[in-house]
Amino acid sequence: MSLPSYQPIPIDDYYSTPKKGLQEDTGRPAKSQHRNFFRLLVASTIAITMMFGLSRTGIPSVFRGCSKGLHGSANRLPSHYVLPSGDKIPSVALGVWQAGRGEVGVAVQEALKAGYRHIDGAWIYGNEAEVGEALRASKVARKEIWLTSKLWNTFHAPKDIEPSLDESLSRLGTDYVDLYLIHWPVAQNQDGTINKELTEDPYPTWQKLEELVAKGKIRNIGVSK
C-alpha cells in the first residue's frame, strides 16, 4: 500500500496574507504569534541575565547555583540515621535480593572492601548462608556490620516467628540481627492463602517480635513494605 505524497506548503505563500490564531487546515500559528513568542523569549533572557549575570559558559548564575545545589546534595547524605532505639543504621546498604549462588558472596566481600557496612537480606531470598560465609571471610568485625533480615509472610503466627529467625541467624552465622522487618504487612497460612486474622490485626506478630528484642536476638524491628 502506497502512502499519499506530502506536499509542503511554501513559506512565502503561507505568510503572504495576514492570519489570526491557528490555521484551520495546517494547525500552524500565525506569523505574528511567532514574533510575539520570540520577543517574549528574548525579553525573558535579557531580564534573567541582568538580574543574575552570566557564568563563563553563558548559563545564568541562578541556574548554575541550582545545578550545583542538586549535584552537591549527594555529598550531604548522612552516613547514618538514628533509630528510636538510639542505634545508628548506615544510610546505604547492599541489597542481596536476586543475587544468585556463587555471586552473592563475592558481592558482599567486595562491598565490604569498598566500605559498605550494611547488608540487607531476607529469609525468602534463599542466600543467607552464602552471605554469612562472606561475612566471616571478610574478617570485618561483626559489631561493625549492620545486618538486616526479614520475616516472611508465612511465619507471622507467633509460634513460627522465632524458629524462622533462628534459621536466619544460623545461616548468617550470628546470634543477633540489627534490624528484623516484617517483609510484607500481609500474613499468609502455610498453604499460601491469606491469614485474614493476623493481616487485619498484626499485634500478636509485633508483640512476639518485641519479645525477641528483649531476648537480644533482634536489636530493632519494623515493617519493610
Residues annotated as catalytic are 125
Three-state DSSP state, 81: strand
Q: Which ranges constitute the DSSP H helices of the chain?
A: 11-14, 31-52, 61-72, 104-114, 128-138, 158-172, 196-200, 203-215
Distance CA 9, CA 11 (A): 6
Give residues with Cβ within 8 angstroms of 137, minimum separation 6. 105, 109
**Residue 47 identity (one-letter amino acid):** A
CB 187 within 8 A of CB 156: yes
Q: Which residues make Cβ contacts (< 8 Å) with residue 43, sequence separation at least 6?
A: none
Query: 58 in the Ramachandran plot: left (φ > 0), alpha (ψ -120 to 50) or beta?
Result: left
